[in-house]
Chains A and B, each alone.
Chain A
Amino acid sequence: MSPRITLATARRVLLQLRGDPRTIALLVVVPSALLVLMRFVFDAQPAVFQRVGVPMVGIFPLVSMFLVTSIAMLRERTTGTLERLMTMPLAKLDILVGYGLAFALMGVVQAGVASAVGFGALGLDVAGPVWMVVALAVANALLGMALGLFLSAFASTEFQAVQFMPAFLLPQLLLCGLIAPRESMGRALRWLSDVLPMSYAYDALSRVAGDQHPGRRAALDAAVVAGAAAVALALGAATLRRRTG
């Protein structure tokens, strides 16, 4: 692995995004717009908005980066650029970390704007420090990127890659505690939600939202998210093959 190639790769991914300003606008605006929508949907129940608002700010980058990475990686595979890179003096980690840096930066921007709108304009309260929400959002962006990179290996068309979002992320969203408390789920679902990484992302975010000193439990949850991202990256690395049939 070489810092020169890793940074060049991150720069290249960002240049590709810059060439597509509409995607950048959607990435930055949509989470905030949905927060505004949510604020008014729960106009009569401000407590519900308070409960789901903060986790939404932090979980959105996971979904966005999952989608962007799975399509970007699928294109690298189908247009032959990945194969070309594999014949060059570049390590798989250069690609993975390069993508990670680029999308972590996008995650910071996305969560930063959503935080400013949520905490500034919409009156969303967060007991813990706001930077923790942004930091968790970045960890989630990396998890989304790693999952997208890994799963894109199993998609042969962009239609399939897009359908992986409802297939792999929606169940996690239903089970993570955002829709219904995990304690109230049946044993099988509870067990399932215990092994899904988004549950830990949600737990950490709701702790930061509700507790002035989120402390060790939130850090532990964040560590689980980071660990899941590392596992997904390792699985993703295994799908980057120098030789194919």
Chain B
Amino acid sequence: MTDLGVSAIEARDLVVVRGGDPVLPGISLDVIAGRITGLLGPSGCGKTTLMRAIVGVQLVRSGSVTVLGAPAGSRSLRRRVGYVTQAPSVYGDLSVRENLRYFAQVLGVDDDRVAQVTATVGLEGESAARVSRLSGGQRARVSLATALLGSPELLVLDEPTVGLDPVLRRDLWNTFRALADRGATLLVSSHVMEEAERCDDLVLMRDGEILASEPRPALLERTGAGDVERAFLSLVEGRDS
């Protein structure tokens, strides 16, 4: 798969064990730079654990993860990788602007960036509102804006569009596309198969294993399925029988 381009992420024989159970029993994966890769699978299949390993906050048993040429979690990557967790990780008792200003100061970017990312996620009107008073979808957008502050080369987004209305979801996917067009790599997890249609490459996961990892058109052609949902089913059934 590396003939398509440079890998932004290379996982090799990655094993993660939690409470005695292997969450990831040993997976290998390449994510191509400058593209949007969708990480799809049912909840509990190990998507979040894989993403945590990629951003370097997950304790791993064995194997390696290389991100932008450096071991995952390296000090040099802390400015180059943005991560959005599934639950919004921002301060509920601060306003949107106070949250973004603080993280901007930590990243060493100026206040102009705060205004830019606020506009990108469509929260200009809520900038002075306290985060705890916002809706779940708005909170998720504050969390996303925080990850955009440092203009990271790699964005790892764990279910960023859950609970958003369709208009906003479309706008955010347009934003993701614009970021990729400017050369950023995006790894976006979802359990909504329709979002797969917006990705360049797809990684299908189930029970900690990777069923498929390839460009979307290639996946559809190989499985002969009309859409990603059916491709997923045919891969699962093909494996089980």
Chain A residues packing against B (C-beta within 8 Å): 4-5, 8-9, 11-12, 15-16, 19-20, 79-81, 83-90, 94, 242-245
Contacts and interface: CB of A to CB of B under 8 A. Distances in A.
A4 B105 contact: yes
A15 B78 contact: no
Contacts of B106: 5, 8-9, 85, 88-90, 94
A194 B190 CA distance: 57
B59 A84 contact: no
A12 B91 contact: yes
Contacts of B18: 245
Contacts of A89: 75, 78-79, 106-108
Given A8-B102, A8-B106, A19-B130, A87 B55 contact: yes
A86 to B, nearest CB: 6
B103 interface: yes
A144 to B, nearest CB: 21
How large, as a class, is the contact surface on chain B?
20 to 34
B58 interface: yes
A200 to B, nearest CB: 35
Contact of A16 (B75, B91, B107): B91
B21 to A, nearest CB: 12
27 contacts: A8-B102, A9-B102, A12-B91, A15-B94, A15-B98, A79-B87, A79-B91, A80-B87, A80-B89, A81-B89, A81-B91, A83-B57, A84-B146, A85-B106, A87-B78, A88-B78, A88-B107, A89-B78, A89-B107, A90-B106, A242-B57, A242-B73, A243-B56, A243-B59, A244-B57, A244-B58, A244-B59
A20 B91 CA distance: 13
B83 A87 contact: yes
B91 A243 contact: no
Do most interface residues of chain B lie in helix, strand or loop, or is the interface mixed? loop
Contacts, number: 79
Contacts of A85: 106
B85 interface: yes
A242 B85 CA distance: 15
B81 interface: yes
Interface in B86-143: 87-94, 98, 102-103, 105-108, 130
B156 to A, nearest CB: 9
B93 A16 contact: yes
B57 A81 contact: no
Given A80-B85, A87-B55, A243-B57, A8 B78 contact: no
B77 to A, nearest CB: 9
A12 B78 contact: no
Nearest to B105: A8
A3 to B, nearest CB: 11
Contacts of A87: 55-57, 78, 81, 83
Interface in B20-66: 55-59
A12 B102 contact: yes
Given A8-B106, A87-B55, A19 B79 contact: no
Contacts of A243: 56-59, 73
Contacts of B146: 84
Contacts of B150: 88
